[in-house]
A and B are shown apart, each in its own frame.
Chain A
Amino acid sequence: EVQLVESGGGLVQPGRSLRLSCTASGFAFGDYAMSWFRQAPGKGLEWVGFIRSKAYGGTTEYAASVKGRFTVSRDDSKSIAYLQMNSLKTEDTAVYYCTKEGCSGGRCYSNCWGQGTLVTVSS
């Protein structure tokens, strides 16, 4: 069974940092691109960024709202994707979802979603 489990969320003050982890199982993690999305309370879905598989260079792309502050990375030996979030703002408050894309090189649908982890940015 394909499974994604996010961890690392919590309450953090504005300007501080937080790192989210996404532990994957049930599929060949290294073969797929991985994405992060977020959903503010009562709002719609927003793409945050993704990382391609190593076969496609392991390169990353980001939404403009997080570019320069957030970094997506991956450890294929541990089947974990990370979202490093720096200089957090109150508007970053959301449930963050890790997803497996259906392709290796990005530009793809997300066919498996984690349960999400809540990040609250507040003083």
Chain B
Amino acid sequence: DIVMTQSPDSLAVSLGERATINCKSSQSVLNSSNNKNYLAWYQQKPGQPPKLLIYWASTRESGVPDRFSGGGSGTDFTLTISSLQAEDVAVYYCQQYYATPYTFGQGTKLEIK
């Protein structure tokens, strides 16, 4: 199975500041045949289901604010929130869908400093 490891486990950032979450996969999730990274980012607020933010590592889902961006390739990926808003407090998960079983990182809890 592909192991996904996120860092840090928790993060406190001031409003308006940048937040960066890292995700590392135990093997590459880049498909060389289509040059796509099979990596997604989700946001989960308490009592709610996860919400897709980013797919193919860097494509923002429709309706997601442009302060959210994804980057990286192969085994190392990042989710960046350029200017933290109060409503961004949540747990963030990366997920690989390159191979089954789909696997997730352990989650990063983002709070306001």
Residues of A within 8 A of B (CB): 35, 44-47, 50, 61, 63-64, 97, 102, 106-116
Contacts and interface: CB of A to CB of B under 8 A. Distances in A.
Given A110-B52, A113-B49, A44 B103 contact: no
A68 to B, nearest CB: 14
B17 to A, nearest CB: 26
Contacts of B106: 44
Interface stretch (B20-28, B78-86, B90-98): B90-98
Contact of A47 (B42, B44, B102): B102
A44 B52 contact: no
Contacts, number: 55
B77 to A, nearest CB: 13
Interface residues of B, number: 25
A109 B51 contact: no
Interface of B: 38, 40, 42, 44, 48-52, 55-56, 61, 93, 95, 97-107
Q: For A109, A113, A114, which residue has the most chain B Cβ atoms within 10 angstroms?
A: A109
Contacts of A111: 52, 55, 61
A61 B93 CA distance: 22
B46 to A, nearest CB: 11
Given A44-B93, A107-B38, A109-B55, A61 B100 contact: yes
Q: Counting chain A CB atoms within 10 Å of each CB, which of B40, B101, B106 scores highest?
A: B101
Given A46-B104, A47-B102, A64-B101, A109 B95 contact: yes
Contact of A113 (B50, B95, B101, B105): B50
B49 to A, nearest CB: 4
B49 A116 contact: yes
Given A45-B50, A113-B50, A116-B49, A107 B104 contact: no
A104 to B, nearest CB: 14
Contacts of A116: 49
Contacts of B51: 113
Nearest to B100: A61
Contact of B97 (A45, A97, A108, A114): A108
